[in-house]
Amino acid sequence: MRMSDEEYFRSCVARERHLAHLLGHHNIEECYESAGTLWENTQALPKWTRDWNACGPLM
């Protein structure tokens, strides 16, 4: 069973949301204007599953 690009994208964002909760971020939003970017207050959270530079510190 193949996953569409949109399904893959949404699964990455869902994993990032879960990871953010595990790392102590609890006031997370995703704005319509910046779909795919998770925000905590006015700070954009890293895209851990989609950016090598963002996931490096987690390793």
Structural domain that includes position 21? 5-48
Is 55 within the bounds of a domain? Answer: no
The reply to whether 30 falls in a domain is yes
Other beta carbons less than 10 A from residue 4's beta carbon: 8
Q: Give me the number of domains the chain comprises.
A: 1
User: How far apart are the C-alpha atoms of 33 and 51, rounded to whole Å?
Assistant: 20
Domain-located, residue 57: no
User: Is the pTM here over 0.85, yes or no?
Assistant: no
Residue 53 lies in a domain: no
- Indicate if the pLDDT at residue 56 is higher than 90: no
Strands 28-30 and 43-44: unpaired
4-34 confidence digits (pLDDT tens): 988 999 999 999 999 999 999 999 998 888 8
**Contact 54/20 with Cβ under 8 angstroms?**
no
Give the separation between CA 9 and CA 38, rounded to whole angstroms: 13
